């Protein structure tokens, strides 16, 4: 099959192009957009054909005439800050998440022109399911229904694929009646998702699809396996490491010391968080010891930078996760060109979608929905 017969997709809020990397050579990117200059430069640096189809700027400034042909798929990883459980929960009316409606204006226009995408994927944080008591999720479902789509959702934690805990919701919508082979029980129907579905009115549940994906193979990597050599990274001072220990709650400290006593090498991932204890707000260091990094974030302030705490024969040390380590935690290839500054690199990786998760969706659901076998196409 020639390349020009491969399914086409638009990638909105493209960031550094991680959805494109996940879909891979089985798909052709017909259009991509992002407004952030740092991410736009990363996209251009990694995709030589970007000048032909990448548009830097606000999604609200786009018109349907900017979008070529008819896409088989539109992917939208719209800004998640207003849905985040850590944010102010402004919901779909929030300033950043309102960018979704800039994207949706284009879908509505394409539908009116008879060239709406066959399939749509909207990726966001799990807080979307409960934002404003479920009203925002219902509004999203209503928007899809109004344009004639069947829809359902999957909650997938990237920890199934990479050593990073990163749960996300993937709303998948299709214009066509869903094939029976893709419908049924599956491993990505979380309790939160079932409860969100239960809050929908009957007219929307009538268009709901319980997408069935197989479970991926067991992950065979841990956080320690993606780390740089000890001599290639900058370590924090002993005083800074001690402060990190002192900021642990007694429970976290006991767990860490027990792990340290039982193993020759302990690698923990730590964030500083503000907790309220006895009515007082205190800063705590919380360390994961399950072989996973915590969810990568944008580098907005020192408290959001994830750290590593390592105990071994060399003593106890701490440092920040490096840009390349963050790229590995997102499933990016070693050849992926990161921005030169640490903050720029973390801006790209911390706000992206995990590449192997997209690949799993493409191979096991999206390819079938657009009428092709993505795995067979990729092999050609």
The SS3 assignment for 97 reads coil
Same domain for 140 and 255? no
Same domain for 158 and 252? no
Same domain for 60 and 196? yes
- Residue 267 pLDDT > 50: yes
Q: What is the pLDDT of residue 17?
A: 98
Q: What is the pLDDT of residue 304?
A: 62
pLDDT, tens digit, for every residue of 152-181?
A: 999 999 999 999 999 999 999 999 989 999
Say how far apart CA 326 and CA 228 lie, in whole Å.
11
Helix ranges (H only) for 227-363 are 238-246, 250-262, 323-329, 342-349, 355-361
The answer to the question of residue 328 being in a domain is: no
The answer to the question of residue 271 being in a domain is: yes
Same domain for 98 and 169? yes
Same domain for 314 and 361? no
Same domain for 118 and 262? no
- Residue 203 pLDDT > 60: yes
Question: Total structural domains in the chain?
Answer: 2
Same domain for 206 and 256? no
Element (H, E) at 316: strand 315-320
Q: Final residue of a domain: which of 321, 338, 369?
A: 321
Per cent of the chain over pLDDT 70 is 91
Same domain for 126 and 99? yes
Q: Final residue of a domain: which of 305, 321, 337?
A: 321
The answer to the question of residue 354 being in a domain is: yes
The answer to the question of residue 173 being in a domain is: yes
| Number of neighbours of residue 99 by Cβ within 10 angstroms | 20
In order of 117, 164, 254, the CA distances from 297 in angstroms are: 30, 11, 27
For the entire predicted model, the pTM comes to 0.92
Beta carbons of 46 and 20 less than 8 angstroms apart? no
Same domain for 177 and 311? no
The secondary structure of 244-280, three-state, reads HHHCECHHHHHHHHHHHHHCCCEEEEEEEEEEEECCE
The answer to the question of residue 301 being in a domain is: yes
The answer to the question of residue 333 being in a domain is: no
The answer to the question of residue 343 being in a domain is: no
The SS3 assignment for 367 reads helix
Beta carbons of 19 and 351 less than 8 angstroms apart? no
pLDDT, tens digit, for every residue of 314-332?
A: 899 999 999 999 999 999 9
Mean pLDDT of the chain: 90
CATH number for the domain including 190?
3.40.50.150
pLDDT, tens digit, for every residue of 290-299?
A: 999 999 988 7
Same domain for 164 and 283? no
Determine the average pLDDT of the residues in 232-254: 94
The answer to the question of residue 245 being in a domain is: yes
Same domain for 60 and 187? yes
Same domain for 176 and 284? no
- Residue 260's domain comprises 229-321
305-337 b/e with 16+ CB inside 10 Å = b? bbbbbbbeeeebbbbbbbbbbbbbbbbbeeebe
Kindly indicate the confidence band of residue 1, based on its pLDDT and cuts at 50, 70 and 90.
Answer: very low
Q: What is the pLDDT of residue 100?
A: 85
Per cent of the chain over pLDDT 90 is 82
């Amino acid at each position: 099959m020639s390349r020009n017969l491969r399914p086409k997709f638009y990638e909105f809020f493209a960031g550094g192009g991680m959805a494109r990397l996940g879909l891979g050579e089985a798909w052709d990117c017909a259009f991509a957009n992002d407004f952030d200059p740092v991410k736009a430069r990363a996209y251009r640096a990694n995709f030589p054909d970007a000048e032909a189809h990448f548009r830097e700027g606000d999604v609200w400034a786009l018109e349907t005439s900017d979008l070529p042909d008819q896409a088989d798929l539109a992917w939208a990883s719209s800004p998640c800050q207003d849905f985040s459980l850590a944010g102010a929960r402004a919901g779909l009316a929030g300033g950043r998440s309102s960018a979704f409606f800039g994207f949706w204006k284009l879908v509505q226009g394409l539908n009116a022109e008879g060239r709406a995408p066959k399939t749509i994927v909207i990726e966001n944080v799990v807080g979307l399911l409960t934002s404003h008591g479920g009203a925002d999720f219902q509004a999203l479902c209503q928007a899809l229904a109004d344009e004639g789509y069947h829809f359902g959702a999957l909650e997938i934690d990237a920890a199934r694929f990479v050593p990073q805990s990163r749960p996300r919701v993937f709303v998948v919508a299709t214009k066509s009646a869903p094939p029976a082979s893709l419908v049924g029980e599956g491993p990505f129907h979380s309790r939160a998702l079932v409860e969100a579905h239960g809050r929908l009115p009957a007219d929307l549940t009538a268009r709901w699809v319980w997408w069935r994906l197989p479970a991926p193979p067991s992950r065979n990597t841990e956080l320690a396996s993606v780390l740089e050599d000890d001599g290639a990274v900058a370590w924090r001072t002993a005083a800074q490491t001690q402060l990190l220990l002192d900021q642990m709650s007694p429970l976290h400290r006991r767990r860490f010391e027990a792990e340290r006593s039982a193993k020759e090498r302990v690698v923990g991932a730590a964030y500083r968080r503000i907790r309220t204890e006895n009515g007082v707000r205190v800063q705590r260091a919380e360390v994961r010891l399950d072989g996973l990094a915590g969810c990568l974030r944008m580098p907005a302030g020192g408290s959001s930078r994830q750290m590593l705490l390592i105990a071994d024969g060399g003593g106890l040390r701490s440092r920040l996760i490096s840009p390349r380590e963050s790229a590995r935690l997102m499933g990016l290839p070693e050849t992926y060109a990161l921005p030169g500054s640490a903050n720029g690199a973390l801006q790209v990786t911390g706000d992206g979608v995990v590449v192997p998760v997209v690949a799993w969706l493409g191979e096991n659901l999206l390819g079938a929905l657009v009428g092709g076998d993505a795995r067979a196409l990729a092999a050609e």
